[in-house]
């Protein structure tokens, strides 16, 4: 329902969200799907890295140390529900937010890789070996 309202009242935001979905879907090991609480989820090798709500709010799990750094630098906000967790939030408003959002999603995937077993972390290939996720 939120995506429909966003498309009707804020089409530039919906276009930006669509570009992010398309870029993430092209990355090795990534799957784009319906999030359990609504919105669109981004999953790396079966684990949720991030999700975007229909209103354009992106949530990414980056770990507490990364969260602190990202919030202090102004690149992200504390999570809108769990501000002391390892999750961050980021508003996608339009085209200028696509690349920063993709970078946050990439950091969330790297967090999954770091916390995976050593063998899985060594063999993980995502976009960390590619230059970066890019929207076309």
CATH number at residue 91: 3.90.1150.30
pLDDT, tens only, 54-98? 999 999 999 999 999 999 999 999 999 999 999 999 999 999 999
Core vs surface per residue 62-93: b (16+ CB within 10 A) or e: bbeebbeebbeeeebbbbeeeeeebbbbbebe
pLDDT, tens only, 16-47? 999 999 999 999 999 999 988 879 999 999 99
Give the span between the Cα atoms of 123 and 120, in whole angstroms: 5
Range(s) of the domain holding residue 76: 2-123
In a domain, 135, yes or no: no
In a domain, 130, yes or no: no
- Name the domain count of the chain: 1
In a domain, 132, yes or no: no
In a domain, 133, yes or no: no
In a domain, 136, yes or no: no
In a domain, 29, yes or no: yes
């Amino acid at each position: 329902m939120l995506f429909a309202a966003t498309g009707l009242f804020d089409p530039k935001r919906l276009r930006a969200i669509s570009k992010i979905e398309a870029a993430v879907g092209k990355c090795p090991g990534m799957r784009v799907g319906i999030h359990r609480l609504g919105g669109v989820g981004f999953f790396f090798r079966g684990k949720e890295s991030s999700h975007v709500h229909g209103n354009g709010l992106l949530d990414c799990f980056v770990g507490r140390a990364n969260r602190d750094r990202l919030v202090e630098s102004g690149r992200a906000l504390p999570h809108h529900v769990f501000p002391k967790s390892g999750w961050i939030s980021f508003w996608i408003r339009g085209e200028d937010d696509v690349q920063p959002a993709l970078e946050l999603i990439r950091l969330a995937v790297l967090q999954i890789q770091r916390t995976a077993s050593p063998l899985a972390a060594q063999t993980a290939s995502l976009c960390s070996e590619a230059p970066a996720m890019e929207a076309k």
